[in-house]
Structure 1
């Protein structure tokens, strides 16, 4: 029967690769092999049972019958597809009331992204400094006008430090909080907008190398452009008519003429304006 001492007298097949005959012409295969005579590699090494013919990857273990027990963060028959388990459970950090908009930017120049959040219900912005390894310190708050709705972070006074610009929906203003260094900010300077500013962008629209403020005024159906006058100060807005309830604004060169254009989502009239 060519099985030497691995087989019983009733075995008429040869069990290969250190497989042992279990009688009645069946083989018990060692890890890494399958098939009637254990001559088919299953590439699973010690992670698989004898009847596994697939390779379990990313620390998955074979459960038999060509199925894998998946390690956390992986799915698929061979544990090769990343799934929602790739993210750990959230870590929460306290803000003030009704945080509605946030941006991540390195405001203290340590090459780590910090969190800046507009707290709509408490009339302030919170700054959570990055503590390293994806952790954040408790927020420091800075007063805004009523109902800060949208926040961006841009160096508006060209001093190499990122400043905070916030659209104050309830008081019809935008606030500019200049960076005082080390991730701290001066009290806001406010500039009048039209009714219910809901979105703000900061882009150099007049090609003078100073970023200007563009704001969508939801309640008055227009966008306002506040030109940077230098040193982080801004001129009174010039307004441009939109359709009904502009709620979001972006500024990008859409016609390739090297001049930034304004694109606005008009919530109340179901269109976008360019």
Structure 2
């Protein structure tokens, strides 16, 4: 069952000379009645231009495809696998070089740890699974699809839950080009790793690996020596159970910076590289309760990367927009609110509807489905706030009680949304008429913006002032 919410404004109104920017998301919840979704990825399973979603449900042991139905905001449920105990992690990619994206999934149920390959059948679904490995020791997690040996066949990496006294393995699963994988242990000293990021850290042409070690309390760098041998060193120490990470060059020094979540430390931090080849700390949130996934994403399409946090015990997705760098060159962020999602844990980011805006989707262990957030951020003129010649009249412009909005007879109003100067939605109304009257008597005095949408989805935004 799908539940669609009205436009959701997370952000602030950013004033840049003559323009204002609204960070707006169209939010849809899809209740699938399957228990404990733990991981989500997006892909275009049919290559039809629509974003589809694959979700791993740990309690119900399922991996399920939700295939988008053309332009409608509806999904067909396509079962992929229904016996993956503790289904917990997913990665995607074209592992058999046929031009279609496949799925690799892991299950973390005690005593029955497995990795399975699910091949795209090119007709909107997946073929029967193929088991990559089964183990009774540590659980495989942190799946990352990457061509580590750079032979043009997509491989993947896994790490393992483990203890300090009995470390786990960092494993390179080498693809022969036909989705047959050979296990190569790169390190047997990976202390409770949770996630990896592969990048050319030292810029020598080989791919290196950064691993987030939970109980190891650090980011570990595995430098590629060539021929798939690696040297491990501590990159960032003194982390309190790092659960997730993401990377981007925030200060444009051609070196990676690292965003990390501390699940036990209840913090999200950004480590920004400096000229001394160390890291300066920017605290994004010092009191986020059990952060899960973190993602770096350009919500505002302004070239400055913003931040998403899944907060498990706060039951929320939190968003922080980039406010630019300070005098020391360190990025600063504005807390732009949250969206409620029970036991939020996993995020996936991408342009889902091909409008050149970054969208995202999320799951939480306490919600039996998934949530999509389609980016409808707009930039409007502060002067007349108009992008088209649609004749919309708003009066009076200085309003104390009743505000009337009227349009021409051939273009009826579908809906009206009113924002305050903090970018918050304070009023929303479905209209389906050429005129409507809004009671503004309870509005706080000040400036507001009315976003008027016609039946064809075209919009015009008009400024007005509430007076006593």
TM tier, smaller: 0.5 to 0.7
Structure 1 pair 199/82, CA: closer, same or farther in 2 (3 Å)? closer
Q: Give the conservation status (yes or no) of the 8 Å contact 1:266–1:273.
A: no
Partner of 2:342 in structure 1? 244
Question: Matches of 1:164 and 1:207 in 2, distance apart?
Answer: 21
Q: Does 1:272 align with 2:370?
A: yes
Q: Does 1:188 align with 2:277?
A: no
Structure 1 pair 88/253, CA: closer, same or farther in 2 (3 Å)? closer
Partner of 1:155 in structure 2? 249
Partner of 1:94 in structure 2? 189
Structure 1 pair 181/197, CA: closer, same or farther in 2 (3 Å)? same
Structure 1 segments, 4+ long, off by >4 Å, are 81-84
Partner of 1:59 in structure 2? none
Structure 1 pair 134/238, CA: closer, same or farther in 2 (3 Å)? same
Q: Give the conservation status (yes or no) of the 8 Å contact 1:221–1:245.
A: yes
Question: Matches of 2:298 and 2:230 in 1, distance apart?
Answer: 31
TM-score (norm 2): 0.38
How far residue 117 of structure 1 moved from its aligned partner, in angstroms, is 0.9
Superposed CA offset, 1:173-227 (max 9, x none): 2121223479x54153322153111001111111221211111111111111222
Q: Give the conservation status (yes or no) of the 8 Å contact 2:243–2:261.
A: yes
Partner of 1:19 in structure 2? none
Q: Give the conservation status (yes or no) of the 8 Å contact 2:218–2:236.
A: yes
Superposed CA offset, 1:54-80 (max 9, x none): xxxxxxxxxxxxxxxxxxxxxxxxxxx
Question: Matches of 1:224 and 1:88 in 2, distance apart?
Answer: 37
> 1:177-216 residue pairs with structure 2 within 5 A?
177-180=271-274, 184-192=277-285, 194-216=288-310
Question: Matches of 1:141 and 1:162 in 2, distance apart?
Answer: 12
Structure 1 pair 174/221, CA: closer, same or farther in 2 (3 Å)? same
Query: What SS class does the counterpart of residue 185 from structure 2 fall into?
Result: coil
Superposed CA offset, 1:123-163 (max 9, x none): 21111111122111122241254211001222122222211
Structure 1 pair 145/92, CA: closer, same or farther in 2 (3 Å)? closer
Structure 1: gaps (5+ residues):
1-80
How far residue 269 of structure 1 moved from its aligned partner, in angstroms, is 1.1
> 1:169 is matched with which residue: 240, 263, 277?
263
Structure 2: gaps (5+ residues):
1-176, 373-468
Q: Give the conservation status (yes or no) of the 8 Å contact 2:218–2:234.
A: no
Tell me: higher relative CO, structure 1 or 2? Use CA pairs within 8 A at least 6 residues apart: 2
How far residue 103 of structure 1 moved from its aligned partner, in angstroms, is 1.1
How far residue 264 of structure 1 moved from its aligned partner, in angstroms, is 0.6
Query: What SS class does the counterpart of residue 92 from structure 1 fall into?
Result: strand
Question: Matches of 1:83 and 1:145 in 2, distance apart?
Answer: 36
Q: Give the conservation status (yes or no) of the 8 Å contact 1:158–1:210.
A: no
Q: Give the conservation status (yes or no) of the 8 Å contact 2:282–2:330.
A: no
Give me the CA root mean square deviation.
2.6
Question: Matches of 1:190 and 1:154 in 2, distance apart?
Answer: 16
Question: Matches of 2:212 and 2:223 in 1, distance apart?
Answer: 15
Q: Which has the higher strand share?
A: 2
Superposed CA offset, 1:82-114 (max 9, x none): 685x6264232523x311111111122222211
Question: Matches of 1:226 and 1:108 in 2, distance apart?
Answer: 30
TM-score (norm 1): 0.62
Instruction: Tell me which structure has the larger Cα radius of gyration.
Output: 1
Q: Matched residue pairs, number?
A: 192
